[in-house]
Amino acid sequence: MKMKGNPNLLLLPAMIYITVVTFFPEAYAVYISAFRWLFPSPPVYAGLDNYTALFSSDLFYSSLSNTVFWVAVTYVVETSIALAVALLIQRDSRLNKFTRTLLIVPMMIPPVIVSELWAYLFNPVYGPVNYFLHALGAPQPDWLGHLPEAWYALIIVDIWQWTPFLILIFLAALYSVPPDLVEAAEVDGASTVSKFRYVTLPLILPIMFIGGLLRVVDLLRSFENVMLLTRGNPGQGTWLYSFFIFYQGLAGSLQVGYGAAASIVFLLFTGAIVVTIIMLYFRLMARA
């Protein structure tokens, strides 16, 4: 049956929505990044001055490097833990079913609440974490006020909340592995490690990539944990780039043009990372 009319017109509502919600704000951000705009004073055209100021700012480089460190470390730790747990609980048993249900709970709590809760847990005066450390005779650091403890605190909170997300994805990937392939490897005398390395891992790698991509994007735009746990402290030692944009562009004084310039740079930076990951994924698939 031949379709009448142009089927591309059916895409129009979605395209209008994406244009209004995504492209227009981005285009407007590019426009205002060319202005020096300290609210509530009127904007003054400044050309590339905001970008010049950005690239000569120490805080720009430090928050960018903090973000790279944060994404790399958190992602590696989360992926390792998630894979290990997924392998442990993939078999069908009552305990594993219960564990899988329990794992979802941290993900269901709003991130803002999680950060507030952990801020109390890590409180150096009242917090239970230091209370138990004291009971064990261990040192009780100022978790949110000193480096590197502030980084440990941020990473622990993110792992607690979002590792289950990766666990669920990896579990789905493990369930998609044909059992007869694993059995065939067993019959051929392959060890557990060999089975995992040569049979299971290549088959789950594409799905791990997708899960990894989603986590990396989430980690790149992390904000609430820094805002509520450390406020970028100590000093500006835990500033992530998202916090840098907020602090410079909105908090305290509204330097909107500068904030917009920082956002555009971050968009390009994030885009480059995502494109790199996707290209790696396609290369991997082509090889497979």
Partner 1 sequence: MSQDKNVGRREWLKLTGGVVGGLIVGGALGYLAKPPVEVPGPTTTVTATGGPVTVTATATATATPTEVVDFYVNPQLAGTELNIMAYDTIDTVQAKKFIDEFQRITGIKPIWTVMGEGTANDKLSLEFAAKSGTFALDYNSMDGSFVYNNAIAGNCLPLNDWFAKCPKEYNFDDVLKPTVKSSSTDDGTIYGSLWDCGNHWLAYRKDLFEAENVKVPTNLDELVAAAEHFYRPDKGLWGITLFGTPDLFPFFQWDMFIWGCGGKHLDEATMEPLANSPEVIEGTDYYAKLGKYAVDWSNSEINKPTTYFAAGKAAMELNFVTALAPVLDPTTSVVFDKTGFAPWPGKVAQPNILTATGYSVNAYSKPKEQEAAFSLLTFLTSPHVQSQALKPEFGWPPMRASVVEAPENQPDVNTKWGWMAPTIKAIIAAQPPGTKGAKSVAASPLPRLPKPGVSFGYMKIIYTNFAKIVAGTWTAEQAMNQSQKDLVDLFKTEGLLK
200-239 mask for partner 1 (x: CB under 8 A)?
A: -------------------------------xxxxxxx--
Omega prior to 148 cis, within 30 of 0: yes
Closer residue to partner 1 (CB): 5 or 40: 40
Site membership for partner 1, residue 36 (CB under 8 A) = yes
Closer residue to partner 1 (CB): 88 or 147: 147
Closer residue to partner 1 (CB): 6 or 41: 41
Give dist(CA 75, CA 78) in Å, integer: 5
Q: Which stretch binds partner 1 (CB under 8 A): 32-40, 95-103, 157-165, 261-269?
A: 32-40
Closer residue to partner 1 (CB): 53 or 103: 53
Q: Which stretch binds partner 1 (CB under 8 A): 106-114, 208-216, 251-259, 280-288?
A: 251-259
Tell the smallest beta-carbon distance from residue 104 to partner 1 (Å).
Answer: 31
Tell the smallest beta-carbon distance from residue 232 to partner 1 (Å).
Answer: 7
Angle, CA of 90, 92 and 97, to the nearest 5°: 85
Among 62, 79, 99, 123, binds partner 1 (CB under 8 A): 123
Q: Which stretch binds partner 1 (CB under 8 A): 39-47, 93-101, 195-203, 261-269?
A: 39-47
Give dist(CA 151, CA 64) in Å, integer: 15
Q: Which residues pair with 72 in a beta bridge?
A: none
Give dist(CA 72, CA 138) in Å, integer: 29
Tell the smallest beta-carbon distance from residue 165 to partner 1 (Å).
Answer: 29
Give dist(CA 244, CA 139) in Å, integer: 32
Q: Nearest Cα to 104, choosing from 151, 45, 164?
A: 164
DSSP string, 185-250: HHHTT--HHHHIIIIIHHHHHHHHHHHHHHHHHHHHT--HHIIIIITT-STTTT--HHHHHHHHHT
- Helices and strands (H and E) in the chain: how many: 14, 2
Q: Tell me, by CB under 8 A, how many residues bind partner 1.
A: 26
Site membership for partner 1, residue 121 (CB under 8 A) = no
Closer residue to partner 1 (CB): 161 or 230: 230
Q: Nearest Cα to 288, choosing from 206, 209, 213, 194?
A: 206
Q: Which residues pair with 40 in a beta bridge?
A: none
Which two three-digit tokens encode residue 82? 């998630």
Among 30, 38, 156, 168, binds partner 1 (CB under 8 A): 38
Tell the smallest beta-carbon distance from residue 87 to partner 1 (Å).
Answer: 39
Site membership for partner 1, residue 81 (CB under 8 A) = no
Please report, as residue ranges, which positions from 140 to 159 form the binding site for partner 1 (by CB under 8 A): 142, 144-145, 147
Residue 110, SS3?
Answer: coil
- Note the residues at the interface with partner 1 (CB under 8 A): 36, 38-41, 123-125, 142, 144-145, 147, 231-237, 247, 250-255
